[in-house]
Amino acid sequence: MAVVMDHIVINVEDDEKMMDFYTRVLGFSPERFKAYRTGRVPFPSVRLSDETVIDLFPKKIWEKHYASSDKVRPNIHHFCLAVTEAKWKAIKDRLSADGLPIEEGPVPRWGAYSYGTSIYFRDPENNLIELRYYDGT
């Protein structure tokens, strides 16, 4: 079996704003959001592909882990999402339409499938996202 990214966990403060960003702006499917809103599950997720989800941990889950440690930093440096060129352009257009700045790019960057074209932007809680497409996709 090939190794695949199963999930990424992001610590969030405003779950509604983050879910809107990942579903409406980036176009990913919500997972368990209704069940989360009604208290049946502890956190919602967004589906990137059949193999990968991003879990959005609300503050009530993660704050206890950071209260006693100055060695652990919340969130992550950045993560990269590889999409088709058409989806890349559509997301780039939605970022622009929403007035969300691109911090860097388009630029060539090395990744899992060699070089691709990337842009970098932030979600509503300041997590850095790299969005990339590979030529021919």
Answer yes or no: 130 catalytic: yes
Pairing relation of β-strands 29-31 and 128-133? unpaired
Catalytic residue among 13, 31, 103, 130: 130
To which residue do tokens 């969005």 refer?
131
Could you give the 3-state DSSP secondary structure of residue 63? Answer: helix
Rounded to an integer, what distance in angstroms lies between the CA atom of residue 130 and that of residue 40?
Answer: 32
Q: Which of 49, 46, 38 is closest to 9 using CA atoms?
A: 46
Question: Any idea which residues carry the catalytic annotation?
Answer: 130
